[in-house]
Structure 1
Amino acid sequence: MSEKLVQDKVIIVTGAGGGIGRDFALALAKEGAKVVVNDIGASVTGEGNDAGPAQKVVDEIKAAGGQAVANTDSVADASAAAKIVQSALDTFGRIDGVINNAGILRDRMFHKMSLDEWDAVLKVHLYGSYYMSRAAANHFKEQESGAFVHMTSTSGLIGNNGQANYAAAKLGMMGLSKSIALDMQRYNVRSNCIAPFAWSRMIGSIPTDTPEQQARVAKIQQMTPAKIAPLAVALMSDKAKDTNGQVFVVRNNEIFLMSQPRPVRSVQRSEGWTPETVIEHALPAFKGSYFGLDKSGDVFSWDPV
């Protein structure tokens, strides 16, 4: 029998008590990984604390013959994030991978968004991904191996209404991932992003007041979290050693490699620019290449296969 894809690798999955994270943890364990199942057991908006969800996933893994340990520390605090990494070291003696999946939502139209709603989402998604990655980085450097997967979103890569906090955090995570990939490639450490389309409680608040909305939600519900897991497991494997600094989207049975910003057009004037010549020359020259105010649904406008 061939060796499993991530045999004996110790991998932390944050936000793994349910949804996408749970499927990651189960799929990793099935492929031989020892999994730290991290989840504070909070609501979608971040309130509360319940050890039950993480332990339940651990119990599922152990019942299937795998190895796992539960952890309920918060990624939004630097010292707590360090404890999550320490949990892997204390239990399994090493750490080989981190999947930054923990997240909350505080959706609000921008002009109504409160400081708390902004801060809470940035703390969990962007700061949490930094805290977790930083806590693992020196261990990866010393052993000259390791892999990160950060969960981004088309809300950040493309755009969505009412999610300035979430979109800023998720696009920031793309920049964080690329920087980690550049800084740590010499130590054989890889860092990639996945933007998932999947039905979970994180998007369970989508309205279903009209037939059109109900049809949209029905399509999203077909996109189960288990569809995301194969790519995440593959990216944790040594067999993906040539994949670094990339951004992927998974939508049901489709996997997309996303573009990264590059120059589209340029204009120049030998004498330099004034505000007037920018108005008269530069902006009209660029206008034909402007990007529309697209939302994620405008770009991914066809039904998933």
Structure 2
Amino acid sequence: MTKISFEGRVAVVTGAGNGLGRTYALELARRGARVVVNDLGGSASGSGSSATAANLVVQDIRAAGGEAVANTDSVASRAGGAAIVQTALDTWGQIDILISNAGFLRNNRFEDLTDEQIDSILDVHLKSAFYVGQPAYRAMRARGYGRMLFTGSASAMFGHAWQANYAAGKGAMLGLSNVIALEGSAYGIQSNVILPTASSRLQGEMAPGFMEIPEFARSVQSADFSASEGRLMPEFNTPLALYLVSEACTATHGVYSSNSGRYARVGICAAEGWFAPAGIEPPSVEDIADHFGQIGELGAYSEPMTPYDEFTSVADVARKHGVLARPDARLAQEPTILQAGRGPSTPSGA
């Protein structure tokens, strides 16, 4: 069995004063990393601040013989994000690992969410990934090595009533991490997303009002938790998180679920679908209606890493469906819209 070590590495873990972040920081330090323990010290709803939580984790790390420093800057501002990364640079001269974990909940019905509830959640989950991630990325690029891990959520990937703001922020981690993985591939930087599941203090913000939604209530009431008893501690998420930021891990551009000791990749894929007949005439709405079952069927599928990979997948399907007159034909150059630098907007349908 390969021993996973973080000797010589410097890690920044945001939201490391409690729960998941605390376990990440403790285990990173136990395995040799020097750790910046960042935590504003706010409540589960994001109110208040205190240095106590971060300092206690640092004390635990040092008591066990590890190296750590506390940082209490807010991840939700550019100045705070820069200060967090600068703490690592000032103390140890480098940053190799960023685990973007800080966050809180402010639940409400979609139609009742206020600007404050939306903005505060996007600030701490989405904008913080930029505010801390950008200076961390620059420092990693300069050294030619880096591991970035962003915290997503099953609430975003699969859906959770009364969490539209939270799901929007967490869902954005997928797009952000994918782009960092692509750009970072030129500089030795990898990026992934983890979907952790754990009982934590955030549960106190989970008011059961969402049970007013019949379909959601049915899902909750019929759920089988038999494999989860005693396995929802934050520590069950730590092994996957640490592997993804280790030197041993070569995976990037991925999303991984950790739930009750089951660890699995979560995929975003494009089904084979239905291909409109040959020619430049678009199909009608009725054509789509007639073939919608085929469009929605997840049979054979592709997993494009970029929008341009999807064009290749589309051409492969067109050949398979006999739509291309010449099966070996390839376009000599990209369509004009791609040459104009607007490629990503084309496959996304924006």
Q: Which amino acid is the alignment partner of residue 276 of structure 2?
A: Q
How far is 1:60 from its partner?
0.5
- Report SS of the residue matched to 1:7: coil
Q: Which amino acid is the alignment partner of residue 37 of structure 2?
A: V
Q: Return the alpha-carbon distance in structure 1 between the equivalents of residues 152 and 229 of structure 2.
A: 18
Runs of 4+ in structure 1 off by over 4 angstroms are 207-213, 215-221
Normalising by structure 2, we get a TM-score of: 0.76
2:252 to 244, 266, 285: 244
How far is 1:202 from its partner?
1.5
In the other structure, the counterpart of 2:116 is 116
Q: Return the alpha-carbon distance in structure 1 between the equivalents of residues 254 and 193 of structure 2.
A: 6
Distance 1:254 1:217, change over 3 A: closer
In the other structure, the counterpart of 1:295 is none
Q: Return the alpha-carbon distance in structure 2 between the equivalents of residues 127 and 208 of structure 1.
A: 28
Query: Contact 2:39–2:53 (CA<8 Å) still a contact in 1?
Result: yes
Q: Return the alpha-carbon distance in structure 2 between the equivalents of residues 257 and 280 of structure 1.
A: 32
In the other structure, the counterpart of 1:260 is 268
Query: Contact 2:44–2:204 (CA<8 Å) still a contact in 1?
Result: no
In the other structure, the counterpart of 1:302 is none
Q: Which has the larger radius of gyration?
A: 2
Equivalent positions of 1:156-305 (< 5 A) are: 156-206=156-206, 219=228, 222-240=231-249, 242-270=250-278, 272-273=281-282, 276-278=285-287, 280-283=289-292, 285-286=294-295
Q: Return the alpha-carbon distance in structure 2 between the equivalents of residues 200 and 14 of structure 1.
A: 16
- Report SS of the residue matched to 2:91: helix
Q: How many residue pairs end up in the alignment?
A: 288
Q: What's the CA shift string for 1:184-208, capped at 9, x where partnerless?
A: 1011100011100111112234458
Query: Contact 2:106–2:205 (CA<8 Å) still a contact in 1?
Result: no
In the other structure, the counterpart of 1:41 is 41
In the other structure, the counterpart of 2:91 is 91
Query: Contact 2:8–2:33 (CA<8 Å) still a contact in 1?
Result: yes
In the other structure, the counterpart of 1:11 is 11
How far is 1:273 from its partner?
3.7
Q: Which amino acid is the alignment partner of residue 248 of structure 1?
A: Y
How far is 1:4 from its partner?
5.9
Q: Return the alpha-carbon distance in structure 1 between the equivalents of residues 20 and 161 of structure 2.
A: 23
Query: Contact 1:126–1:170 (CA<8 Å) still a contact in 2?
Result: yes
Distance 1:285 1:238, change over 3 A: closer
- Report SS of the residue matched to 2:69: strand
Q: Which amino acid is the alignment partner of residue 31 of structure 2?
A: E
Runs of 5+ consecutive residues of structure 2 not aligned to the other structure: 212-219, 299-350
Q: What's the CA shift string for 1:231-287, capped at 9, x where partnerless?
A: 1221222111x2111110011211011111323412314463465435643446536
Query: Contact 1:153–1:194 (CA<8 Å) still a contact in 2?
Result: yes
Q: Which amino acid is the alignment partner of residue 194 of structure 2?
A: I
Runs of 5+ consecutive residues of structure 1 not aligned to the other structure: 290-305
In the other structure, the counterpart of 1:82 is 82
How far is 1:229 from its partner?
0.9
Query: Contact 2:19–2:234 (CA<8 Å) still a contact in 1?
Result: yes
